[in-house]
Amino acid sequence: MPQISFSRRLRRTPFSEGVEAAGVKGYTVYNRMLLPTVFESVEADYRHLKNHVQVWDVSCERQVELRGPDAAKLMQMLTPRDLRGMLPGQCFYVPIVDETGGMLNDPVAVKLSDDRWWISIADSDLLLWVKGIANGYRLDVLVDEPDVSPLAVQGPKADDLMARVFGDRVRDIRFFKFDMFEFEGRDLAVARSGYSKQGGFEIYVEGSEIGMPLWNALFTAGEDQQVRAGCPNLIERIEGGLLSYGNDMTDDNTPHECGLGKFCNTHTAIGCIGRDALLRVAKEGPVQQIRPIAIDGEAVLPCDRPWPVFADGKRVGQVTSAAWSPDFQSNVSIGMIRLSHWDAGTAVEVETPDGMRRATVQERFWI
């Protein structure tokens, strides 16, 4: 099994020391930064996440900060989601598209104030696109990557753990809202959000130097709650239908193909750079779309490249994320399936590394 070669280019995070002390066993690289993938085992981590509470180093969700009079205008140029009704204190999941309607990223936009936004990005250097657009359109806005590293607290006991560190007021944060909380004299944005379906928070840790103090405070406070270091869990995120940019979709795909049409208000998103292209897609509909797919047989091998999906002897799509789900006693997967075969219940075949498997398009994700 090849090792990962560490270098400055695979950036460490403010929490790396804690992650290492917790015995991280696997990493991926995300936004040129280390993202843990396994602590005990993917299955043990999954079981623990669903029953207790975990602290996740998701610093790799880098922020693109927009600051200045044109910040809101620029933010709207980036996405077909209509942002006019968005208030400070809200987080919006926003598809980001280029002029052809191709997805460049699927981040969470955080509105700090009318003229200050963070874009909490998935895995692409969105900073460069945003800087290029701001420069080309001569906008009055500063665009850069601030020293902000998200730390997620996820799992059914997340509210209790967070309340011990930040006070009971954290319980009042509603889904995809944030409020400001004090830690060691700093005001930090804390949102009810995260890349799992188990509930929890993301703390936007501003200032690397308070990273480990906060990490340690959470572990001390949660000792009797069996708090553990964790990370986005492959099985749990597939069960829950949480897409991964770069895995389940790329810049070849429109938001509609990704099932993100509900986040597109293309008619009213005046100024969006991809609006013309997406008006066409919105009218005609996509010809392929993300679908949950149950794959028969024993546990599949890891999915490190697209697995072709066949039906009636023709290629009708591909699977891009897959894992064995202990809770559903089935292989759960995410695929992109053509219109002709995307109805729930359709029988297909998936070409996995150890052979062709029977599979079925599902009505909905597992959880």
- Of 4 and 180, which CB lies nearer to a second copy in the complex structure? 4
Q: Among 9, 1, 14, which Cα is nearest to 210's?
A: 14
Closest CB 172 distance from a second copy, rounded Å: 36
- Of 201 and 288, which CB lies nearer to a second copy in the complex structure? 288
- Of 181 and 307, which CB lies nearer to a second copy in the complex structure? 307
Closest CB 147 distance from a second copy, rounded Å: 13
Closest CB 133 distance from a second copy, rounded Å: 5
Closest CB 138 distance from a second copy, rounded Å: 8
User: Can you name the residues that pair with 337 across neighbouring β-strands?
Assistant: 289, 317
Query: Which helix (DSSP H) or strand (DSSP E) does residue 16 occupy?
Result: helix 16-21
Please report where in the chains the tokens 């188990």 appear, as a residue.
198
Contact 156, 198 (CB under 8 A): yes
Sign of CA dihedral 53, 54, 55, 58: negative
- Of 289 and 318, which CB lies nearer to a second copy in the complex structure? 318
> What backbone torsions phi and psi does residue 163 show, to the nearest 5 degrees?
-65, -35
Report the interface residues with a second copy, using CB under 8 A: 1-10, 12, 24-30, 32, 37-38, 98-99, 104, 123-126, 128-137, 244-247, 273, 302-306, 320-321
Sign of CA dihedral 232, 235, 239, 244: positive
Closest CB 97 distance from a second copy, rounded Å: 12
- Of 8 and 364, which CB lies nearer to a second copy in the complex structure? 8
- The C-alpha torsion from 299 through 304 and 305 to 310, rounded to 10°, is 0
DSSP one-letter code for 299:
P
- Of 26 and 167, which CB lies nearer to a second copy in the complex structure? 26
- Of 170 and 243, which CB lies nearer to a second copy in the complex structure? 243
Q: How far is CA 172 from CA 155, 157, 183, 191, 246, in A?
A: 17, 15, 18, 11, 34
Closest CB 1 distance from a second copy, rounded Å: 6
Closest CB 190 distance from a second copy, rounded Å: 28
Pairing between strand 54-57 and 228-230?
A: parallel
- Of 38 and 188, which CB lies nearer to a second copy in the complex structure? 38
Q: Among 89, 27, 102, which Cα is nearest to 57's?
A: 27
CA distance 192 to 200: 6
Closest CB 27 distance from a second copy, rounded Å: 5
What residue spans of 64-187 are helical by DSSP H?
A: 71-78, 126-136, 158-166
